[in-house]
Amino acid sequence: MSDTPFKPLDRNGIAARIARDIPEGWFVNLGIGIPTGVSDFVPEDREVIFHAENGVIGIGPAPSPENVNPHLVNAGVTPITLRTGGAFVHHADSFAIARGGHLDLCVLGAFEVAENGDIANWARSPNEPVKQVGGAMDLAVGAQRLWVAMEHNTKGNGESRIRRVCSYPLTAKGVVRRVYTDLAVLEVTPEGFVVLDMIPGLTFETLQARTEAPLRRMPG
Amino acid sequence: MSDTPFKPLDRNGIAARIARDIPEGWFVNLGIGIPTGVSDFVPEDREVIFHAENGVIGIGPAPSPENVNPHLVNAGVTPITLRTGGAFVHHADSFAIARGGHLDLCVLGAFEVAENGDIANWARSPNEPVKQVGGAMDLAVGAQRLWVAMEHNTKGNGESRIRRVCSYPLTAKGVVRRVYTDLAVLEVTPEGFVVLDMIPGLTFETLQARTEAPLRRMPG
Amino acid sequence: MIHKFVSTTEEAMAGIPDGATILLAGFGAGTPEHLLKGLIAQGAKDLTLVVNAGGRDDGPIAELLATERIRKIVCSFVRPASVAARLFTAGKLELEIVPQGTLAERIRAGGAGIQAFYTPTAADTLLAEGRETRVINGRNCLLEYPILGDVALIDAWQADRWGNLTHKDSARNFNPIMAMAAKLTIVQTAHVVELGDLPPANIHTPGVFVQRVLHVPAQ
Amino acid sequence: MIHKFVSTTEEAMAGIPDGATILLAGFGAGTPEHLLKGLIAQGAKDLTLVVNAGGRDDGPIAELLATERIRKIVCSFVRPASVAARLFTAGKLELEIVPQGTLAERIRAGGAGIQAFYTPTAADTLLAEGRETRVINGRNCLLEYPILGDVALIDAWQADRWGNLTHKDSARNFNPIMAMAAKLTIVQTAHVVELGDLPPANIHTPGVFVQRVLHVPAQ
């Protein structure tokens, strides 16, 4: 069984694939990087409420340059708008939302995800002199569901980011529910990664060849 | 040295005596009973801000019967008004104020106060089937200063409420700074009770005779 | 479209199971009395009720207690002359007495994902007997655990279809924090407003904490 | 009359001692930049700075760090290309990295009198190494202590003479909780209003948490 040619998703493609799976009414936090793009692909008539760590509930579309409000930014410190029905809270209340289990979903970027749901997304080595944690640890343990958006393999030597065990320092243990990559959608289950979806033209065997952790086909 | 006749203060008299000692700008919580009356004796031109546990900052004078607002009560569930400049917060924020050390003063009623500053004001016996704690324990440990307003002796057999050691279950340990009774004002010091003030006509000896704990005169 | 309004009291109260923990807001003002009556009618039993005041001899809390469907009350005080006190003395009701500030903080902790906290409140009292304490910075502190509800019954002044709420004056009290701390937060609101009518900076309880809203015009 | 306004930056910053812990609010928006410049001019040294972001290579935080009067930063992240990172690598700055939600919660705990709390955040990470953890309800949790400031530098949109504040849009961020957690809370406000102009239900930071207010009109 040989592969037909396949074309990995670009970053927008991953974001769009994630957007397809977010139902109306969910309350969602999007991390920096690929996840930030997800909201652009949720159709306007599907009400999904987006949260930012700095106390914004109901992020709207980006403002035009002449409509930038200097008092209104997202967690990446990028100007945003507020959607009708949105609200502002202070930082502790905002993280009470995130840590108290009130987010239906958080989507984060990552360096690696392990088959037990561990996520590593904040440091490439325990010896890095300077750490950049931000709110990722809070979001990872607090949200009802954690999905990860990332490229399947590293850019340099094509190593698998989908691991038996993470090699980088952990952000949180056993919290990832699903991974969206440029090649596939993987569910984290008690039996390890299960392939929910693959891009057109990709075979299970090729996907497994590019993946360090063992993969399972969807039952049935 | 025999006593000239003296007239113990009534409850309003105690409240008025306390009001004299509250300077402008203090942020104050008044407990139920004698303390509630204190605010009536603070002159209007002296700005003192009164707090209620149920999230009221800046209690104003009692409303006339035709101006009662059913949505606005104090911690005793009595209708109140809000003073210009006042604010409403929720219950956790209100107790963050009380427990976080933001009250300059709390005035509570009590059954007993001990010379080490212990206060007992919530139960007359450890075996009472039903307990009425309310917010007293939070206020007692949280305020910058705790003053107590109470009658010096019990109504029945005239026992002293000013004790070496409290006989009733404690509300909090070592927190009382000052006691205002119908007879005197007592400061709690590392050396025990010091008499700051007595009602006219009362001698130190008579006061001591009515008091179980040893008293000291003001130095100097 | 997100639309959290329900049309009937039955719909508002649907699905509350036996054994549920119910957070009931209110402090003189801000008690959702209509929903409380709805709970009496709904019939769930073996309930735990978390409420500031264990109540008096009248009003809907006393009525609810009189049904003997409350197994336990968690509250900051109970008047000796009350239905709750009589049931407790008769061995028909469990009682957990919690200082009012600790009660508020435990509920807020439940909503905020805090798993336990240390407070000096009540550390040197009867309420600390047999419990874990710890001296922190020279102060004796008591370890307290969060309170989470299966259901919260909430009073609001205004609500929109996302469940954003405002509360009137001191009727705010326990309403915002109890809304945070329950899986199913049911609101009765005096007024219904359009989405966008509430200024975003002045929403007292964001809709993320609210599941169902019933319009109960003030009488 | 209670009157918390001061007329000059010098008066606002007066008395900040060497060795003080400074809470600095802001997250993209809501940073009190005028007061931060005032702190640079004021000259206190050996300071601990609590701030969400350890900063970039420009702006007043970088300027303050460049004075080398900051002994330690407590923050949720530091960019590798920043004054803070360079000072840290050179051994001239201590760094305490705290997850952003834990940072906010520790500050809120400081203001609320909570003496310590358990959170699952960071419990199974490098940040937990050598620290006290505890399994609660099957979840590994880390023990965290409150953060208290000697001084908080706060940005506001409106202020009255009692120090009641509102904050604009997402400029609210750390401002209300840092105001709670400091002994001396100094505010710069874009607008001054009369007592009573702010609706009592919509005050974002009550004046009880505020000591000094300086009017710094928006530019």
Cβ contact A142–C113 (<8 Å): yes
Q: Of A47, A142, A143, A147, which Cα lies nearest the Cα of A104?
A: A143
Q: Which residues of C touch D119 (CB under 8 A)?
A: 113-115
Q: Specify the DSSP class assigned to residue B80.
A: -
Sheet holding B119-120, edge to edge: B119-120, B112-114, B162-163
B59 occurs within a structural domain: yes
Residue of chain B nearest C86, judged by CA positions: B130
Report the distance separating Cα B111 and Cα B216, nearest Å.
22
Q: Is C162 on the interface with A (CB under 8 A)?
A: yes
B4 occurs within a structural domain: no
Which pTM value belongs to this model?
0.97
Q: How many domains does chain D have?
A: 1
pLDDT digits (tens, 9 = 90+) for D146-203: 999 999 999 999 999 999 999 999 999 999 999 999 999 999 999 999 999 999 999 9
Contact D189, D160 (CB under 8 A): no
Which position has the token pair 């397809």?
A: A20
**3-class SS of residue A208:** helix
Percent of chain C with pLDDT over 90: 92
Sign of CA dihedral B120, B126, B132, B137: positive
pLDDT digits (tens, 9 = 90+) for D96-141: 999 999 999 999 999 999 999 999 999 999 999 999 999 999 999 9
Q: Which of D108, D113, D164 sits opposite B142 (nearest CB)?
A: D113
Contact: chain A with chain B (3+ CB pairs below 8 Å) = no
Q: Of C47, C57, C58, which Cα lies nearest the Cα of C23?
A: C47
Higher pLDDT, residue C132 or B126: C132
Cα→Cα distances D25→A54, A118, B121, D61, Å: 11, 32, 41, 11
Q: What is the mean pLDDT of chain C?
A: 96
Percent of chain B with pLDDT over 90: 90
For residue D95, count CB atoms less than 10 angstroms from its CB and return exposed for 0-12, middle for 13-18, buried for 19 or more.
Answer: middle
B2 occurs within a structural domain: no
Report the distance separating Cα B99 and Cα C16, nearest Å.
35
Q: What is the DSSP string of C52-97?
A: SB---SSHHHHHHHHTT-EEEEEESB--SSSHHHHHHHTTS-EEEE
Cα separation of the two ends of chain C? 30
Residue of chain A nearest D93, judged by CA positions: A130
Q: What is the DSSP string of C153-190?
A: EEEEEEE-TT--EE--GGG-TTHHHHHHTEEEEEEEEE
In the predicted structure, residue B23 carries a pLDDT above the cut 50:
yes
pLDDT at A201: 95
For the record, the structure tokens of D66 come out as 């460049």
Q: Which residues are CB-neighbours of C80 under 8 A, at least 6 positions away?
A: B130, B132
Q: How many domains does chain B have?
A: 1
Cα→Cα distances A54→A104, A141, A171, B136, D172, Å: 18, 18, 20, 35, 8
Residue of chain B nearest C171, judged by CA positions: B71
Contact D79, D55 (CB under 8 A): yes
Q: Which residues of D touch A133 (CB under 8 A)?
A: 76-77, 97-100, 122, 127
Which CATH number belongs to the domain containing residue D105 in this structure? 3.40.1080.10
For the record, the structure tokens of B207 come out as 């006061």
> How close is the nearest chain C Cα to the Cα of B211, in Å?
25
Neighbours of B40 (CB within 10 A): 12
> How close is the nearest chain C Cα to the Cα of A59, in Å?
12
Cβ contact D201–B88 (<8 Å): yes
Q: Which residues are CB-neighbours of D139 under 8 A, at least 6 positions away?
A: C115, D120, D123
A203 occurs within a structural domain: yes
For the record, the structure tokens of C164 come out as 């954003």
Cβ contact D101–A130 (<8 Å): no
For residue D152, the Cα-to-chain-centroid distance in whole angstroms is 5
Instruction: Please give the residue range of the domain that contains residue C174.
Output: 5-215
Residue C92 backbone phi and psi in degrees, to 5: -100, 5
**3-class SS of residue B17:** helix
Q: Which residues are CB-neighbours of A159 under 8 A, at least 6 positions away?
A: A153, A212
ipTM over 0.95: yes
In the predicted structure, residue A180 carries a pLDDT above the cut 80:
yes
Report the distance separating Cα C120 and Cα B146, nearest Å.
15
Q: Tell me the residue type at B109.
A: G
In the predicted structure, residue D82 carries a pLDDT above the cut 50:
yes
Residue of chain C nearest A43, judged by CA positions: C1
Cβ contact D112–B51 (<8 Å): no
Active-site residue (options: B44, B53, B187, B191) = B53
Q: What residues pair up with C142 in beta bridges, in sequence order?
A: C119, C133
Chain D neighbours (≥3 Cβ pairs under 8 A) are: A, B, C
A3 occurs within a structural domain: no
Sign of CA dihedral B190, B38, B153, B200: positive
In the predicted structure, residue B45 carries a pLDDT above the cut 50:
yes
pLDDT digits (tens, 9 = 90+) for C7-62: 999 999 999 999 999 999 999 999 999 999 999 999 999 999 999 987 777 788 89
pLDDT at B1: 47
A212 occurs within a structural domain: yes
Cα separation of the two ends of chain B? 20
Instruction: Please give the residue range of the domain that contains residue B207.
Output: 11-217
Contact B76, B54 (CB under 8 A): no
In the predicted structure, residue A3 carries a pLDDT above the cut 70:
no
Cβ contact D201–C199 (<8 Å): no
B45 occurs within a structural domain: yes
Cβ contact C208–A102 (<8 Å): yes
Contact C45, C22 (CB under 8 A): no
For helices D100-112 and A91-99, the axis angle rounded to 10 degrees is 120
Q: Of C200, C209, C214, which Cα lies nearest the Cα of C159?
A: C214
Residue of chain A nearest C197, judged by CA positions: A85
Which CATH number belongs to the domain containing residue A201 in this structure? 3.40.1080.10
Instruction: Give chain C's length.
Output: 219
In the predicted structure, residue B154 carries a pLDDT above the cut 50:
yes
pLDDT digits (tens, 9 = 90+) for D18-64: 999 999 999 999 999 999 999 999 999 999 999 998 777 778 889 99
Cβ contact D136–C116 (<8 Å): yes
A21 occurs within a structural domain: yes
- List strand residue ranges (DSSP E) for chain A, in order: 27-30, 49-52, 56-60, 81-88, 105-109, 112-114, 119-120, 146-149, 162-163, 176-180, 184-189, 192-198, 215-217
Catalytic residue numbers of A read: 53
Q: Specify the DSSP class assigned to residue C25.
A: -
Report the distance separating Cα B102 and Cα B138, nearest Å.
12
Q: Is D139 on the interface with C (CB under 8 A)?
A: yes
Task: Reply yes or no on whether B128 is catalytic.
Answer: no
Cβ contact A85–C164 (<8 Å): yes
Contact C173, C185 (CB under 8 A): no
Contact C5, C211 (CB under 8 A): no
Contact D114, D94 (CB under 8 A): no
Report the distance separating Cα D124 and Cα A173, nearest Å.
6
Q: What is the rounded average pLDDT of the residues C199-214?
A: 98
For residue B83, the Cα-to-chain-centroid distance in whole angstroms is 22
